[in-house]
Amino acid sequence: MQHLHPLATRWSILTTVSAELPARARRASSDDAKRMAQELVHALQQGADDAQDIEANFLSHCSACHDKLAFMLARRELLRHGVFSELPASWLAVAEKLENLHEPGLRA
């Protein structure tokens, strides 16, 4: 790589993602996880028209991105506020998948 790049400014920084970083952290920050969990809880509590779609997208995200934090936050709030008396089968399936992950560098 040349010392100066045509797209560089004096404030440019070249970075790469660390391989030791957990996959969840590479795909979604803790702020994203908290925001997504809050949006889901709010939609389900309010009975929004698109609550089922939001829930399906949320579970897909948690499963694909291994986002244990978002899943745990949403599950805790939904059970605490009585939205679910028990977790539905779709939630249990995602919970089982997340519990069985053995990703290098992923901290419990």
pLDDT at 101: 74
54 vs 60: CA distance, rounded Å:
10
Give 4's pLDDT tier (boundaries 50, 70, 90).
Answer: low
The rounded distance, in Å, linking the Cα atoms of 76 and 91 is 12
Cα separation, 62 vs 57, whole angstroms: 9
Q: What is the pTM of this model?
A: 0.70
Q: What is the pLDDT of residue 45?
A: 92
Helix or strand or coil: residue 9? coil
Is the CB of residue 59 less than 8 Å from the CB of residue 51? no
Question: What CA–CA distance (Å, rounded) separates 53 from 69?
Answer: 20
Closest CA to 81 of 39, 42, 32, 35: 42
Which pLDDT tens digit goes with each residue over 8-43? 666 666 566 666 666 656 666 788 899 999 999 999
pLDDT tens profile 47-104? 889 999 999 999 999 998 888 999 999 999 999 999 888 889 999 999 999 998 765 5
